[in-house]
Amino acid sequence: MNPRRHFLKKGALATLSLPFLSFDNSRNWSLENLRGMPSKGEDYWRLVRRHFPLKEGQTYFNNGTMGPTPGYVLETMIRHMMYWNTEAATIDYKEGSGPELLSGYFPYEELRKRLAAIIHADFREVSITQNATMGMNFVGMGLDLQRGDELLNTNQEHGGGFAAWQLLARRKGCIYKQATLPEPANDPSEVVDAIFREVTPKTRVIAIPHMVSGYGTILPVQEICAEARRRNIFTVLDGAQCVGHVPVNVARIGCDAYYSSLHKWFLAPPGSGLLYISNRVADRIWSTLASYQWDNQEDHGFRLMQYGTGNPAQIAGYAAAVDFYETIGEAAWLDRIRELGQYLRSGLKTLPNVRIHSSTNEEMAAGITTYSVAGYTGPDLQRTLWERERLQPRSVGEQMVRHSVHIYNSKAEIDKTLEVIESLT
């Protein structure tokens, strides 16, 4: 066995033997009660809910901003931090414990292989980053762009989805443009037309969301990337809202680069990001951060994650989040989110005082629904839902509320939401 892997395995087993290292000793955060259990029916999802240390009597509907961390993941991180600090004097860096001490210098091939399997990539195409914004900047700052090159975003970008391109336009004299997407977007062909209406022979980069953060609209990215490739345009997808939310198959999509924040729908700890750059274009991306392996041409994913000393407990938690995801199973996980999202939208459609701003084409929607209620601002509606039933979505803009549903939510909680809104007539 590889000495480093042996040490990591030995250290992980040691952490599990320390009984006092739990943030809540009254709870058993083991995943054993989920293994092999049929993932159908409300009883199963009530069991899943008990794997989160969320307060009873309060409902969290803001997963599109930050996902709550499962107890199993939190406990893994806490045990890791306590073990490596308690045993500091017995740890021999030279015997392979470096990844557990420093994190930011090492390839983490096992974790990258597991993440690569989730998005259908070669692990050498995958970098571990801190978040989507970091991934976007690694791509943007790494491209050789020239004065006059055109960079295309949309008018529905998250703030972290356009900043690097605006910076590059100002610094390098590129031309920054935005395509205006329909709202709500219910016809994929309208989205494709809106994008390519802004494309010219000078367009070098199309950087768009896979899912629009504000509305939860799933864009027809496979069609857009196919047409962009025919025109020799580099494609970058903002998947901050996607991994752990909808199926992501970068090989099928055909994008050149894809980045995501897994602290959202994947429920990994904050600081868990992912960057994919296709092997066919990886040698076109310069390293933004440089350390020992900045010019590694055999493993471009590793080359682009040279960020120096990081938090090794966060990496342990990241791997534990993959455990949690795999235990429930991708199909059950994603289907449940879609089921709850559709349940909410179906209920909202029956209410005359509601306008849905998200897509109502279920092929373009999943767990995010953005809507407004006549006579209420977004902040007023958020406050009313909290005061009446302790329901917490997120207000966006002046008039809208963005409602995210996930596997720890229930149809009963959605019913409470609908009852409150129905009373606001």
Locate the DSSP E strands across 124-163. Answer: 126-129, 150-154
pLDDT at 376 over 60: yes
**pLDDT at site 145:** 95
List the single range of 182-191, 291-300, 405-414 with lowest mean pLDDT.
291-300
Instruction: Determine if the peptide bond prior to 184 is cis (ω within 30°).
Output: yes
Architecture of the domain defined by 104-308: 3-Layer(aba) Sandwich (3.40)
Mean pLDDT of 105-134: 95
**pLDDT at site 21:** 53
Mean pLDDT of 169-190: 96
Question: Which structure tokens are listed for 212?
Answer: 């629009």
pLDDT at 136 over 60: yes
SS3 261: strand
Mean pLDDT of 137-149: 95
SS3 81: helix
Confidence label for 91 from pLDDT (cuts 50, 70 and 90): confident
**pLDDT at site 18:** 45
Q: How far apart are CA 31 and CA 296, in angstroms?
A: 38
**pLDDT at site 133:** 94
Q: Which residue has the higher pLDDT, 105 or 32?
A: 32
Looking at 2.60.40.420, 3.40.640.10, 3.90.1150.10, 3.30.43.10, the CATH number of the domain 331-422 comes to 3.90.1150.10
Question: Which structure tokens are listed for 406?
Answer: 């996930």
**pLDDT at site 295:** 87
pLDDT in tens, 54-81: 999 999 999 999 999 999 999 999 999 9
pLDDT in tens, 348-369: 999 999 999 999 999 999 999 9
**pLDDT at site 319:** 97
Question: Which structure tokens are listed for 84?
Answer: 């490596």
**pLDDT at site 14:** 41
**pLDDT at site 75:** 95
pLDDT at 334 over 80: yes
Return the closest-CA partner of residue 227 out of 257, 254, 250, 259. Answer: 254
**pLDDT at site 358:** 96
**pLDDT at site 212:** 97
Mean pLDDT of 6-19: 42
Q: What percent of the chain has pLDDT over 70?
A: 92
pLDDT in tens, 299-310: 999 999 988 888
**pLDDT at site 41:** 85
**pLDDT at site 59:** 98
pTM given for the model: 0.91
pLDDT in tens, 236-277: 999 999 999 999 999 999 999 999 999 999 999 999 999 999
Q: Which residue has the higher pLDDT, 104 or 4?
A: 104
Can you state the angle between helices 3-16 and 71-86, rounded to 10 degrees?
110
Indicate the domain borders of the chain.
104-308, 331-422
Specify whether the CB–CB gap between 336 and 407 falls below 8 A: yes
DSSP letter string, 36-76: T----SHHHHHHHHTTS-PPTT-EE--TTT-PPPPHHHHHH
DSSP letter string, 158-219: -HHHHHHHHHHHHHHT-EEEEE---SS---HHHHHHHHHTS--TTEEEEEEESB-TTT-PBP
pLDDT in tens, 33-47: 998 777 678 999 999
Q: How far apart are CA 117 and CA 258, in angstroms?
A: 14
**pLDDT at site 98:** 66
What average pLDDT is seen over the chain? Answer: 91
Q: Which residue has the higher pLDDT, 105 or 147?
A: 147
Q: How far apart are CA 312 and CA 324, in angstroms?
A: 19
Mean pLDDT of 184-188: 96
Confidence label for 19 from pLDDT (cuts 50, 70 and 90): very low
